[in-house]
Amino acid sequence: MVYTFYRSFFVSQDKPLVLELVLTFELLRNFMLNQQDVKVAAYECGLSDLVHRLWAWCQVESSLMTSVLHLLATYIARCPQGMCFCF
- Residues 71-76 have a mean pLDDT of 92
* Domain containing residue 10: 2-81
How would you classify residue 14: left for phi > 0, otherwise alpha for psi between -120 and 50, otherwise beta?
left
Number of domains comprising the chain: 1
Choice among 22-31, 57-66, 77-86 with the minimum mean pLDDT: 77-86
pLDDT digits (tens, 9 = 90+) for 9-60: 555 566 788 899 999 999 999 999 989 889 989 988 999 899 999 999 899 9
> What number of other Cβ atoms are within 10 A of residue 79's Cβ?
17
Q: Look at residue 87 and tell me if it is in a domain.
A: no
DSSP code for 15: -
The pTM of the full predicted model, rounded to 2 decimals, is 0.76
Q: How confident is the model at residue 84 (pLDDT cuts 50, 70, 90)?
A: low
pLDDT at 7 over 70: no
